[in-house]
Structure 1
């Protein structure tokens, strides 16, 4: 089952907005140079090694722009690809193919880059119980695609936005006047507004972990920027009472050591904010 953020309405809204940005009143390059009734075909050419993502999205983009386009999918989302592979073939109006080409490539190149990185990092921690998780450090108006790509790569989505989960971070705690005040106020607000949301709270040291355990009332505890020894002790203190998430400056080089500390989740903003796109092109033939 797909997550709720991948609704047909959300996808359609994104595509419409992206076409409005890219095409506006018209693709005058294609309209001015190609006969209106000209037809052709093009192949999606993979020019790097990785995990392909965005195939399903590409079909939706082509079909949204021109329902008469025929899209033959040759490789599925999540499949390994190598240089020279052909991901799909699109046939129909030459103008329609060219007008929708860039949006398809922009989505697939970035999504495939994210899926490739997520898959590579996930493979490194398979010997542990930890699951790799994304963050809200996404490209504005492109979050849907980026979080979808993390899923395709084998990762886990954290909250989608500010409205579907409560995360009491260090600044919330400090502005609220402390951990007890932040949790108490949060629970009262959720009850008063009839909101059924999970609560995660960030901790920076063992004293804060102990205070959260005393206060209770949360679902997950974030262990932020802790050294390995402190993180292992925190995990031991928490036990099975709450899920744990390691966060803060985690890199590919430190990932395995963090996972070995026994946390349930490891969140990495780099999955979406520092990824290299996979090289993909669309070529007529």
Structure 2
């Protein structure tokens, strides 16, 4: 199954990431093993296969790895990013000069295995809550330098992206509130500083803080480490504040959106989503995702 409205990575971003990875791997003298054992005119064909079920992410990075090493190498993708595949599925066929194929292999597989692992793990979380209106979101807890790629993989797995960095949205956390002196004041200060195009979210740890926040009308309230029972109460408080009945609540454009965070696991996310919150953010889908097992086998 292919994800609707597939995200895309800009070609320049892909090339920059892959070039950096190749330079790291080639070091000061290049692939000395391949240079010593493989002649310059030898050719080979290889096939990439998944060894377990998963969601594919990172094909363009793999393609770029082979192209940057040797532009004459042919890379034929047999699936698309976002596809769900069964164990044993061939996902790409590569052919050309063997030296380039072997030298690019590890970098290509590293990107594919890491990003496909994130997409696959995200899909497990998204599937758990597919019967609700909630969306599972990633956080800023990503490997430095790979944030855009990891957030791309999250979307391929059916998740949503939270803010990309400190500069594209306001998230007022407990330490900001403690230093600035209060919930409502912090929201108003953020509005005055950033202007109408920047979303403002604030983290609260209880219903009292939530009610204070609602009075200042943030775009999103983050409900931190609350039980499903308390989250359900928060949804009711939000509906009452905006004078909305159950039939109108989900689609009403005026109301403040609610995000749950903290202690989110594959075992807990269903109960959290069923409380009626809009978003569930977790670092698990990027920081705890296992890699997807993908192999490359050569046939001369």
TM-score interval, normalised by the smaller of the two chains: over 0.9
Q: How far 1:31 moved relative to its partner?
A: 1.5
Question: How many Å separate the matches in 2 of 1:171 and 1:66?
Answer: 51
Q: How far 1:56 moved relative to its partner?
A: 2.7
CA contact (8 A) 1:43 1:86 kept: yes
Q: How far 1:263 moved relative to its partner?
A: 0.6
- Specify the alignment match of 1:174 in structure 2: 178
Runs of at least 4 residues off by over 4 Å: 1-4
Question: How many Å separate the matches in 1 of 2:75 and 2:12?
Answer: 21
CA contact (8 A) 1:136 1:160 kept: yes
* Secondary structure of 1:223's aligned partner: strand
Whether 1:24 aligns to 2:27 is yes
Question: How many Å separate the matches in 1 of 2:198 and 2:18?
Answer: 29
Q: How does 1:11-90 map to 2 (within 5 A)?
A: 11-25=14-28, 26-90=30-94
Question: How many Å separate the matches in 1 of 2:70 and 2:52?
Answer: 29
Q: How far 1:30 moved relative to its partner?
A: 1.3
Q: How far 1:43 moved relative to its partner?
A: 0.7
Question: How many Å separate the matches in 2 of 1:196 and 1:129?
Answer: 25
Whether 1:271 aligns to 2:275 is no
- Specify the alignment match of 1:129 in structure 2: 133
- Specify the alignment match of 2:246 in structure 1: none
* Secondary structure of 2:198's aligned partner: coil
Whether 1:101 aligns to 2:101 is no
Most deviating of 70-79 and 254-263: 70-79
Question: How many Å separate the matches in 2 of 1:173 and 1:3?
Answer: 35
Q: How far 1:2 moved relative to its partner?
A: 6.4
Unaligned runs of 5+ in 1: none
* Secondary structure of 2:93's aligned partner: strand
RMSD: 1.7
Question: How many Å separate the matches in 1 of 2:181 and 2:214?
Answer: 17
Cα deviation, 1:92-115, whole Å, max 9, x if unaligned, reads: 111111111111111111111111
How many equivalent pairs are there? 280
Cα deviation, 1:207-262, whole Å, max 9, x if unaligned, reads: 1110111122x211111111122211111222351111110111111111100100
- Specify the alignment match of 1:237 in structure 2: 237
CA contact (8 A) 2:124 2:266 kept: no
Question: How many Å separate the matches in 2 of 1:54 and 1:7?
Answer: 12
**TM-score of the superposed pair, with normalisation by structure 2:** 0.88
CA contact (8 A) 1:107 1:145 kept: no
- Specify the alignment match of 2:205 in structure 1: 204
Question: How many Å separate the matches in 1 of 2:67 and 2:198?
Answer: 36
* Secondary structure of 1:121's aligned partner: helix
- Specify the alignment match of 2:11 in structure 1: 8
Q: How far 1:138 moved relative to its partner?
A: 0.9
